[in-house]
Amino acid sequence: MTMDFETGKDGFWARVRASLGRRANDEPAYGRPAIARTPGRRLRAEPGVDDALRQGWTLAAQRQVSLCVMALEIDRHDDYVGAYGRDAAEECLDTLHGVIAGLLPHDTDRCLRWGRAGLLLVLPDTPRLMGRELAGRIVGAVRRAGLANKESHAGVVTLGMGLAVVNPQGPMDPAILDAARQALARAGRRGLARLEIADLRAAGEPRRSVA
């Protein structure tokens, strides 16, 4: 596969970062680390990551459409755990799961817990442009949730995001998950609430929707 990287250095993301900075200065939200959840509540059962990726890959291949996989992770997660504790970090991830799952446009989209600090979105029938737009909506929704993080200069929880896009053919290729993970790592190195994109579509392949 050919991989093409995009750093997302456009005006939209500059405005998002500026908005986060204003929130940190004007409305420090240090009072609560996460929205309280109902005692004893558990997230509904989700398919495992491998199963979700395989299902999404197969569906996109059958429909001859793009598949996006987005890896998300709480920025400065270790510092968050140090400040609020592991239970609060789990509650925060539960809250983020609910916020983000409510934004997914298709019944076939999946939002799964992934690792100790993040979430994974499997988005069949989602071209690159729609993946970028969803990332923007996630940034706004997480900011509005107002989950405090006193260890971040934003004052609130933010997410780093790595988006990988492919036009699936044949058996599921695990490179899609590796690409999303690598894009997430690059986003984390660049700062808070950053998006990085890895395009795994073959060079010269017809592209139905291009961001």
pLDDT, the chain, mean: 82
54 inside domain: yes
Distance between first and last Cα of the chain: 19
40 inside domain: no
Q: Which residues have a Cβ under 8 Å from the Cβ of 29 and sit 6 or more positions away?
A: 23, 146, 147, 148, 155, 156
26 inside domain: yes
165: CATH: 3.30.70.270
The number of domains in the chain is 1
Q: Give dist(CA 132, CA 117) in Å, integer.
A: 21
81 inside domain: yes
Query: Is the predicted pLDDT of residue 33 greater than 70, yes or no?
Result: no
Q: How many CA atoms lie within 13 A of 12 on its CB side?
A: 12
Each residue's pLDDT tens digit, 108-152: 999 999 988 899 999 999 999 999 999 999 999 999 999 999 999
Q: Give dist(CA 100, CA 146) in Å, integer.
A: 14
176 inside domain: yes
Label residue 203 exposed, middle or buried (CB < 10 Å: 0-12, 13-18, 19+): exposed
Q: Minimal CA–CA distance to 170: which of 7, 54, 4, 48?
A: 54
Q: What is the model's pLDDT at position 130?
A: 96
Q: What is the model's pLDDT at position 148?
A: 95
Q: At what angle do helices 77-84 and 86-101 cross, to 10 degrees?
A: 120
76 inside domain: yes
Q: How many CA atoms lie within 13 A of 104 on its CB side?
A: 22
Q: What is the model's pLDDT at position 116?
A: 86
pLDDT-derived band at 105 (thresholds 50, 70, 90) equals very high
41 inside domain: no
Q: Quote the pTM value.
A: 0.77
Each residue's pLDDT tens digit, 38-76: 344 333 434 599 999 999 999 999 999 999 999 999 999
Q: Which domain holds residue 20?
A: 4-30+49-199
39 inside domain: no
Determine phi and psi for 187, rounding to 5 degrees: -60, -45
Bridge-based pairing of strands 118-124 and 110-114 is: antiparallel
Bridge-based pairing of strands 118-124 and 67-74 is: antiparallel
Q: What is the mean pLDDT of the segment spanning 85-93? A: 96
Q: What is the mean pLDDT of the segment spanning 70-90? A: 96
Question: Can you tell me which residue has the tokens 């298709």?
Answer: 106
| Strand ranges in the chain using DSSP code E only, listed in sequence order | 4-6, 67-74, 110-114, 118-124, 159-166, 195-199
The dihedral sign for the CA sequence 15, 17, 19, 25: negative
Query: Is the predicted pLDDT of residue 203 greater than 90, yes or no?
Result: no
